[in-house]
Structure 1
Amino acid sequence: MFRFAAALVASTLLAGVAHAAPAKAPADTGEAQFRSLYKELVETNTTFSAGDCTLAAQRMADRLKTAGFADSQLTVFTPPGRPKDGGLVAVFPGKDPKAKAILLLAHIDVVEAKREDWERDPFKLVEENGYFYARGASDDKAQASIWTDLFVRFKREGYQPRRTLKVALTCGEEGGGHVNGARWLAENRRDLVDAAFGLNEGAGGALDAPGGKRVVHNIQAGEKSSFSYRLEATNPGGHSSRPVPDNAIYQLAKAVDRIAAYGFPVQMNDTTRAYFTRMAGVVGGERGAAMKAIVANPGDKAADALLSRDANDNAILRTTCVATQIQGGHAQNALPQRATATINCRIFPGETAGQVRDTLVKVVGDAKVSVSTVPLDRVDAKPAPPLTPNVLGPIEKVSQAMWPGVPVVPILQAGGTDAPAFIAVGIPVYGVSGLFYDPDLGRLHGLNERIGVTSLMEGREFSYRLVKMYAEAKD
């Protein structure tokens, strides 16, 4: 009945303007070209085992060249000796040479995907039931496509930004064997990527159910670093028919158990204080009250205990360490001569890998169990970059214009991105995308990775508006 009445009112209003000028057609935002670019990038295999990041970077450079960018504005780079680990830096010159640039960062490598495990070919983009499916459909070729398309769109419009804009598409963020292109750029071509700040993956919006209600829009400011440690117990061994108390597997098991029982102390920074303060009003109830309490007093044990039941809350309250691999013994009828375990730690910004190792040594409390750092291409987590009004303000303004009433909440990333490589050399990097995800986080790194079609198109529009706002902002 309501719909009929509404339709009747609408038809009456339309009748009154029957002779008015026809409505202006919506502007062509280039969605068809964006879809083509996105498809090409997603379907370019960039896994370590069989892919080629340099090819993907060159294809995006070709798109920009066709749009009108000069060769001098496009740099396809390859780290020495790694011809398939390349990336792209594209520069869109600004009108004000004194204004510092803005860096738009995304990685183009993806994690491995086996065809026999997936419902669809992971390297063919499929649109089905409101989703795009493919490896990299979200992580991180959605953002890489949005940044590249943004330059194409600006060029087509004849737009001239006040600030210079830079897009960096890099390889190696997912590990697996690629050279980390972001770190290579930061350490070897700082001049090429220098900027006032950068925008990156690492955060997005949350939906309460598949295709459901928007709950919150996150912005990442800082992240934990990932380091692994090797516990090792050794012993002369012997025949299993003559067991002795001094057993390498037992020693290792006790050490791992002590680590499992240990909780690192709560730490807070500006990002996590803002997160828990804003989320308290979103979640409400006992959990919301605990969030307020932990901000007021990080030593509140009751609030800590309640929040730590949730893996997501616990992950950003403290450094965490967990056993991920274990090996021991050399024969079923022999006392073990060696037993080892890998402990992966996600370290709170400002704490170093060395400090965490020292803590693990104390927790293990056994001189016969050594604790060593597993070599990784990582850097210590740096303090989170400040969320100044100049950074946060435009995000809040665009977000509220597109999704009224959805709160913007800062978040510390418990996982890892390429941001620390740039933060380490003095370029603040923030994660914000305007991409909203189902509770399964788009099945990132898993089977049948996907992203909502509406989410991708809205994220494209969000980035378009946001970058324009930053590009015209005064210092």
Structure 2
Amino acid sequence: MDAQAAAPLTSTILEDETLLFARELIRIPSVNTGDPTTIGDGEARAAQYVRRLLEEAGYETEYAESVPGRGNLVARLPGRDRERGALLVHAHLDVVPAVAEDWTYPPFVAEVHDGVLYGRGAVDMKGYAAVLVALARHFARARIVPWRDIVFAFFSDEEAGGVYGVRWLLEHRPHWFAGVTEAISEVGGFSVRLGERRAYPVATAEKGIGRLVLTARGTAGHGSRPTGDNAVARIARAVATIADHRFAIVRTPAVEAFAAEVGALLGEPVDLDALDPADPRLGPVAPLLAAALRNTVTPTIVAGGYKANVIPGEARAEFDVRVLPGQEESLRHEVEALLDPGLEVTWDRWVHPIESPSAGPLLDVLGAAIAAEDPEGVVVPYLMPASTDNKHLAGAGIAGYGFTPRRLDDDADAFGHFHAVDEQVPVDALRFCARVTERILREA
């Protein structure tokens, strides 16, 4: 079948299978606690479920466990032009924990109420995994041959940094990524009302992440005899200093492109130097844009002492670090210049920021696919302040984009449902995602 031709008779099956597979995946509690000793075989069971569905449709799959229970899966659909770079579409099968008592509906039952699917992973990101499975089956059923190879991949461990997922696979199964030049996954594609149009942000860049650990040492002793080098006091001063520090605005290409596109939609320029994170014109993207303007170093853990009347000899603090592309060295120098001499400074768990082109043929395809389903929709690039598996892929020369398209109500905040209680996605939005992504994979 010609790559430009659709298969309308199978569209209903595609959308129905998307919902079915999303519910079944949510019912597999593939919880990633971040502690390997408390993680079961949920990711393996989810990957094996996907494997059965793909092989049932005629795909040859490859399955690998980095360690027992941490399942990963890949299947490739050959395209018409095997010389073109392949497109990787990927989803992670792990989810963050959920406390059932806090939820309106059970997090691992996948109930649908008033047209909304509830469950851990509905947004992040078993809903998109279901879209990919349903699309792979749709392409096989309709004998659609895309222009380029499409690689369908399902990874473990994204929620804890991808160590047992894509990072392990790049080292131990590099052939899974042979010929891949671009990738699509989370986080983006959720509609946001901006003026008279709906914007669908695509993540073309991501902040890097890391951890800063400060350790202060001083004279230990009785609490009744204060010392001039109290380790707790020194750490407290350092925490307050860093927390109060405001980094300068950095105009990265993704931020500049986003501001220009949004300004055009609103009919007035977006002043990045005076951006209000609560700007009602920007809705839920305002805080995302604000976070994308600056480096951040946020105190998260402070530890020191073991008894109220004992001055400890050591105290420490940990900080979550989010760094913009091209800013890693300058951030470290800027932070260290704020600190008192004598503190022990450790930078670790460093994952570099990434930045893919904010314009090009693939972005054009995304825009055309959105316009075909939503004439008021326009795709705009943005810099995501968090992290995805695309970071690891960038090290292999793969340009990653975050785009799982969903048309939502104008007052919806899709980003607010990531890792949240009562995580949810409208069923119509899942169906929309399947239709738009089908166009993307056919035409990319």
Q: TM-score, normalised by structure 2?
A: 0.88
> Structure 1 residues 190 and 234 mapped into 2: Cα distance closer, same or farther (>3 Å)?
same
Letter in 2 for 1:130: G
Q: 2:296 aligns with which of 320, 339, 355?
A: 320
Partner of 2:45: 55
Higher relative CO (Cα under 8 Å, sequence separation at least 6) belongs to 2
> Structure 1 residues 234 and 181 mapped into 2: Cα distance closer, same or farther (>3 Å)?
same
Q: Is the 8 A contact 1:433 1:462 kept in 2?
A: no
Output the CA distance in 1 between the equivalents of 2:277 and 2:134.
41
Q: Is the 8 A contact 2:14 2:135 kept in 1?
A: no
Output the CA distance in 2 between the equivalents of 1:113 and 1:131.
18
Q: Deviations 1:312-371 (Å, cap 9, x if unpaired)?
A: 33311121111111122221011232221111111112233x55333321111x122222
Q: 2:199 aligns with which of 216, 224, 243?
A: 216
SS of aligned partner of 1:407: strand
Output the CA distance in 1 between the equivalents of 2:9 and 2:84.
36
SS of aligned partner of 2:160: coil
Q: 2:83 aligns with which of 61, 81, 98?
A: 98
> Structure 1 residues 100 and 125 mapped into 2: Cα distance closer, same or farther (>3 Å)?
same
> Structure 1 residues 179 and 54 mapped into 2: Cα distance closer, same or farther (>3 Å)?
farther
Partner of 2:346: 372
Output the CA distance in 1 between the equivalents of 2:385 and 2:399.
18
Output the CA distance in 2 between the equivalents of 1:157 and 1:26.
7
Q: Is the 8 A contact 2:103 2:422 kept in 1?
A: yes
> Structure 1 residues 338 and 410 mapped into 2: Cα distance closer, same or farther (>3 Å)?
same
Letter in 2 for 1:101: A
What is the CA distance between 1:406 and its match in structure 2?
Answer: 2.6
Output the CA distance in 2 between the equivalents of 1:308 and 1:123.
33
Larger Cα-atom Rg: 1
Q: Is the 8 A contact 2:223 2:309 kept in 1?
A: yes
Q: Is the 8 A contact 1:34 1:149 kept in 2?
A: yes
Q: Is the 8 A contact 1:44 1:51 kept in 2?
A: no
Q: Deviations 1:263-290 (Å, cap 9, x if unpaired)?
A: 22222222111001111234566xx441
Partner of 1:202: 187
What is the CA distance between 1:54 and its match in structure 2?
Answer: 1.4
Letter in 1 for 2:22: Y
Q: 1:290 aligns with which of 271, 286, 290?
A: 271
Q: Is the 8 A contact 1:206 1:439 kept in 2?
A: no
Letter in 1 for 2:242: I
Q: How many residues align?
A: 420
What is the CA distance between 1:442 and its match in structure 2?
Answer: 5.1
Output the CA distance in 2 between the equivalents of 1:94 and 1:360.
49
Q: Is the 8 A contact 1:208 1:439 kept in 2?
A: no
Partner of 2:332: 357
Q: Is the 8 A contact 2:146 2:443 kept in 1?
A: no
Q: Structure 2 matches for 1:298-447, cutoff 5 A?
A: 303-304=273-274, 311-352=287-328, 355-364=330-339, 366-374=340-348, 376=349, 378-382=350-354, 384-436=355-407, 438-439=412-413, 441=415, 443-447=417-421
Q: 2:130 aligns with which of 145, 152, 171?
A: 145
Q: Deviations 1:50-69 (Å, cap 9, x if unpaired)?
A: 45211111110100111122
What is the CA distance between 1:37 and its match in structure 2?
Answer: 1.8
Output the CA distance in 2 between the equivalents of 1:123 and 1:201.
21
Q: Is the 8 A contact 2:288 2:384 kept in 1?
A: no
Output the CA distance in 2 between the equivalents of 1:421 and 1:193.
12
Output the CA distance in 1 between the equivalents of 2:383 and 2:364.
18
Matched, 1:76 2:63: yes
Q: Is the 8 A contact 2:10 2:142 kept in 1?
A: no
SS of aligned partner of 1:323: strand
Q: Is the 8 A contact 1:91 1:164 kept in 2?
A: yes
Letter in 2 for 1:37: F
SS of aligned partner of 2:433: helix
Output the CA distance in 2 between the equivalents of 1:440 and 1:25.
31
Partner of 1:226: 209
SS of aligned partner of 2:175: helix
Q: TM-score, normalised by structure 1?
A: 0.83
What is the CA distance between 1:306 and its match in structure 2?
Answer: 5.4
Partner of 2:24: 40
Partner of 1:463: 437
Partner of 1:86: 71
> Structure 1 residues 237 and 419 mapped into 2: Cα distance closer, same or farther (>3 Å)?
same
Q: Which runs of 5 or more structure 2 residues have no equivalent in the other structure?
A: 1-7, 33-38, 280-285
Q: What is the RMSD computed on CA atoms of the aligned residues?
A: 2.4
Output the CA distance in 2 between the equivalents of 1:28 and 1:141.
20
Q: Deviations 1:177-217 (Å, cap 9, x if unpaired)?
A: x74411222233222123121111111223459xxx97320
What is the CA distance between 1:141 and its match in structure 2?
Answer: 0.7
Q: Which runs of 5 or more structure 1 residues have no equivalent in the other structure?
A: 1-23, 292-302, 471-475
> Structure 1 residues 27 and 93 mapped into 2: Cα distance closer, same or farther (>3 Å)?
closer
SS of aligned partner of 2:297: strand
Identity %: 27
SS of aligned partner of 2:336: helix
Output the CA distance in 2 between the equivalents of 1:318 and 1:455.
32
> Structure 1 residues 252 and 28 mapped into 2: Cα distance closer, same or farther (>3 Å)?
closer
> Structure 1 residues 246 and 336 mapped into 2: Cα distance closer, same or farther (>3 Å)?
same
What is the CA distance between 1:428 and its match in structure 2?
Answer: 0.7
SS of aligned partner of 2:319: strand
Letter in 2 for 1:157: A
SS of aligned partner of 2:271: helix
What is the CA distance between 1:27 and its match in structure 2?
Answer: 5.6
Output the CA distance in 1 between the equivalents of 2:387 and 2:356.
15
Q: Is the 8 A contact 1:75 1:90 kept in 2?
A: yes
SS of aligned partner of 2:301: strand
What is the CA distance between 1:158 and its match in structure 2?
Answer: 1.5
Output the CA distance in 2 between the equivalents of 1:306 and 1:448.
28
